Amino acid sequence: PFSLGLIAAGISPNGMGREAGVDPLVYALFLATAMSISALPVIAKTLMDMGIYRSDLGMVVIASAVCNDLAGWLTFALILGMFGAATDHHGLSIGWTVAATLSFTAFILTMGRWLIHRALPWIQAHTSWPGGVLGFALTLGLFGAAFTQWIGVHAVFGAFLVGVAIGDSSHLREQTRTIIHQFVSFIFAP
C-alpha cells in the first residue's frame, strides 16, 4: 500500500485530494504512509473469529501488525512535521513523540510486565474474583491507550502493549484470562 499510495499521489496529486500550496512530495509521502498503517483491531478480531488468535501464526501476524503500526505512526508523525508544523500533538516535538513511544514500549515490555506480574497475586488475594483483576486490567489498558494517544500514537497501540504485559503473567487464572478475552472480543473488537 505504501508504494501504491506514493505512486498514485506522485502521478496525480491533485486527483488524490491535495490542496493548493501543499508540496506534492510531502503529500505523496503522507498519503502513502496513511495507506500503509494497518487496522490492528480488525486484524485481531479476524484472527479471533478464525480461532487462530492464540496460535503461533496468529501471534506472528499480530506482532507484525504492531511493528508495522509503530513504524507507520512514527513515520506519520515525521511527515506531519514536514507539513510545516514544528510540533505535533499537544505541542510535543516529533522527536519527543518518538522517544516517548520507544520508552513506553520498552518500559511496558520489561519493568511494566514485571510489576504487573508482582501485583496480580496481591490483587487476587485482596479483591473479589474476577472483578478485581478485570478492573485492574481494564484500568491499565485504558491508561496505556490514553498515554499513547496523548503522545501522538494510536490508542490501540498502548492498550495492546498493556494487554501483552498482563496476558503474559503466569499469575493470571485461566478463567480470568477467558473472561478478559471474551470482554475484549465482544466489547472492544467490534
Q: How far is CA 144 from the centre of its chain?
A: 9
Please answer whether residues 33 and 79 qualify as being in contact, where contact means their C-beta atoms are separated by less than 8 angstroms.
yes
Is the confidence at residue 36, as pLDDT, over 70?
yes
Is the confidence at residue 90, as pLDDT, over 70?
no
- Give per-residue pLDDT as tens, 141-159: 899 989 988 887 777 778 8
Q: Within 83-173, where are the H helices?
A: 94-107, 113-126, 131-150, 155-167
Q: How far is CA 131 from the centre of its chain?
A: 25
Please answer whether residues 126 and 132 qualify as being in contact, where contact means their C-beta atoms are separated by less than 8 angstroms.
yes
C-alpha span between 67 and 75 (Å, rounded) = 12
